């Protein structure tokens, strides 16, 4: 391994120390830093062989984060993973078991306190807007809001 390839590997480990990265993202960052194509390719191969770079494992982890922490809908999660440089086929594979309804319910629960003392139509509109901005489908949004409004015991006319 050349001296430049060694520097590229060291820089790659530094980047991976902050958070997981996709092959595409890591190779892009290495090229931005000024490393040559052959050094980048050698570094990527070495990291893949060592198990430090795995787009499938990263995609599954990011999908879980999108669902449980970011409360994204399926469309939002797809955009999030693609934005992190995960290939399209791996994104679709990672989102096979995605529970959009659970994610929507989690977001509504987080926003519950903000809804106290606010008229039901206003709460419904605000929550609907938040869910849609995060990539939830219309049917998931509708179902989650109906469940919330029933559980809250509000009158739609309030």
> Whole-prediction pTM value?
0.85
* Tens digits of residue pLDDT in 2-33: 888 899 999 999 999 999 999 999 999 999 99
User: How many residues in total does the chain contain?
Assistant: 158
pLDDT value for 152? 66
Residues 117 and 120: their CA atoms lie apart, in Å, by: 9
pLDDT value for 57? 96
pLDDT value for 153? 52
Helical packing angle, 138-152 and 120-133, nearest 10°? 150
* Tens digits of residue pLDDT in 31-57: 999 999 999 999 999 999 999 999 999
DSSP alpha helix (H) spans, 51-117: 55-68, 74-83, 88-94, 100-110
What are the tokens at 141?
A: 């949004």
Residues 35 and 39: their CA atoms lie apart, in Å, by: 6
pLDDT value for 115? 82
Radius of gyration of the chain (CA): 21
pLDDT value for 157? 41
* Tens digits of residue pLDDT in 104-118: 999 999 988 888 888
Question: For the chain, what are the domain ranges?
Answer: 3-49, 55-94, 100-152
CATH code reported for the domain at 3-49: 1.10.10
158, pLDDT greater than 50: no
- The rounded mean pLDDT for the chain is 92
Confidence of residue 150 (pLDDT cuts 50, 70, 90): confident
155, pLDDT greater than 60: no
Burial letters for 74-83: b for 16+ Cβ neighbours within 10 Å, e otherwise? Answer: bebbbebbee
| CA-CA-CA-CA torsion sign (118, 119, 120, 124) | negative
* Tens digits of residue pLDDT in 66-102: 999 999 999 999 999 999 999 999 999 999 999 999 9
Residues 51 and 46: their CA atoms lie apart, in Å, by: 9
């Amino acid at each position: 391994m050349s001296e430049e390839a060694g520097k590229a590997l060291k820089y790659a480990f530094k980047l991976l120390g902050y958070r997981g990265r996709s092959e595409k993202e890591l190779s892009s960052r290495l090229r931005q830093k000024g490393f040559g194509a052959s050094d980048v390719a050698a570094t990527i191969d070495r990291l893949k062989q060592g198990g430090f770079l795995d787009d499938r494992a990263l995609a599954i982890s990011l999908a879980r984060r999108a669902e449980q922490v970011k409360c994204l809908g399926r469309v939002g999660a797809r955009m999030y993973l693609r934005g992190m440089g995960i290939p399209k086929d791996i994104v679709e594979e990672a989102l096979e078991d995605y529970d959009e309804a659970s994610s929507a319910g989690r977001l509504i629960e987080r926003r519950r306190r903000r809804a106290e003392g606010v008229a039901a139509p206003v709460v419904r509109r605000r929550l609907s807007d938040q869910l849609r901005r995060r990539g939830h489908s219309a049917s998931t949004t509708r179902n989650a809001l109906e469940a919330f409004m029933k559980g809250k015991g509000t009158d739609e006319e309030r």
